[in-house]
Amino acid sequence: MPRDSLQYFERIDEATDYVGRHITSRPLVAIILGTGLGKLATRIKPEVTLPYREIPHFPQSTALSHQGQLVVGLLEGVPVIAMQGRFHLYEGYTLLDAVLPVYVMQKLGAEILVVSNASGGVNPRFTSGDVMVINSHINLMFQQHAKLRNPTHTAEMDQQPGTLFYDRAFIDLALETGRKQDFYIQEGCYVSLTGPNYETRSEYRMVREIGGDVVGMSTVPEVLTAHSLNMRVLALSAVTNVAKPDALSETSAEEVVDIARLAEPKLTAIVSDLLKTL
C-alpha cells in the first residue's frame, strides 16, 4: 500500500466525522458547484453551512467565484450536500486533495454526484451560455489516482474499471428538462486539462480534433472518484466561451463567471427535475 494511503483515509474520516457531527440527515445527493454556478446552493433549505476552513483537512477555495463552503440541507425535499466551490489542480492541489470532498460526501451517505463546471466550447455548433450534459470525457490531466486501499474496508479501491462513467438515465432526464422548458441542451465530450491558462489556438484545435466538444480544468478527477465509489454521476457544463481558433479572442476569468451565471437557471432546472425523480 502506498505510504500515504492510511493517512489519507484518516483525513477522510476526520473530515467526515466533523461534518457528520453538524448534520442530522443523511445526504443522498452530493452537488459540486463550479465557476459561476454557486447560486444553486441558495435554493437549498440549509440545515448547516460549513466554511471549508473549519473542516479538518479540507483544502481552501482560491479560484474566482468559488465561495468555499459546504451547504447541507433539503433541495426539492431531498437531502443534499453541496460544495459551493471546488478545488483545481491549477491551484496547486494534488489530485488527492482535489477529490477528498468526494470521499467525504460519499461517506456521509451520498449515492449520487451532480457535478458542474464552466467550460470552453470547441464544437462550432455550440454558443456561449449553452449547457452541455457530459456523456464522455478525455482525460488529458496526465495524473494518476494514487492507488488507494482503505485498510478499514474490504473493498479494493485501487481499480477503476468502467467506461460508462456518466449515467445514461440521468443524461436523458437532463435532455428531457431542456425539451420541457424550451431550452436546448447539448450533449457531448468534456476534455480535461490542468490549466492554469485557457488554451492556445493550437490547443483548442487539438481538443476539437481528438473528439472533444468542450474543454475545462476540473470535473474528471471527481467523476473518476465517484465512479470508483459506485456513485451515479450527472455532469453538467456551462459553455462560457466558444473558441474560434482562426480568429481567437481573449477569454477572461470574469467573462467566464458572468456567462456561467447566465447559464445557471438551466442548471437549476435540470437538478430540480432530477431530484424530483428520487
Instruction: Tell me which residues touch ligand HPA (CB under 6 A).
Output: 118-120, 198-199, 215-217, 240-241, 251, 256
* Least Å from the CB of residue 218 to ligand HPA: 8
Please state, in angstroms and as integers, the Cα–Cα distance from residue 141 to each residue in 94, 136, 164, 233, following that order.
12, 15, 19, 20
**Nearer to ligand HPA among residue 34 and residue 59 (C-beta):** 34
- Decide if 100 contacts 108 (C-beta within 8 A): no
Which phi and psi angles does 53 have, rounded to 5°?
A: -65, -20
Q: What residue is closest to ligand HPA based on CB?
A: 120
* Least Å from the CB of residue 127 to ligand HPA: 13
**Nearer to ligand HPA among residue 95 and residue 193 (C-beta):** 193
**Nearer to ligand HPA among residue 26 and residue 201 (C-beta):** 201
* Least Å from the CB of residue 27 to ligand HPA: 27
Contacts (Cβ under 8 Å, ≥6 apart) of 216: 117, 118, 119, 120, 190, 191, 192, 193, 237
**Nearer to ligand HPA among residue 105 and residue 217 (C-beta):** 217
d(C-alpha 249, C-alpha 253), whole Å: 13
**Nearer to ligand HPA among residue 106 and residue 218 (C-beta):** 218
Question: CA nearest 133: which of 187, 172, 184, 213?
Answer: 187
* Least Å from the CB of residue 125 to ligand HPA: 16
d(C-alpha 206, C-alpha 202), whole Å: 6
* Least Å from the CB of residue 146 to ligand HPA: 25
**Nearer to ligand HPA among residue 19 and residue 193 (C-beta):** 193
- Decide if 18 contacts 53 (C-beta within 8 A): no
- Helix orientation angle between 95-107 and 5-21, rounded to the nearest 10 degrees: 50
* Least Å from the CB of residue 195 to ligand HPA: 7
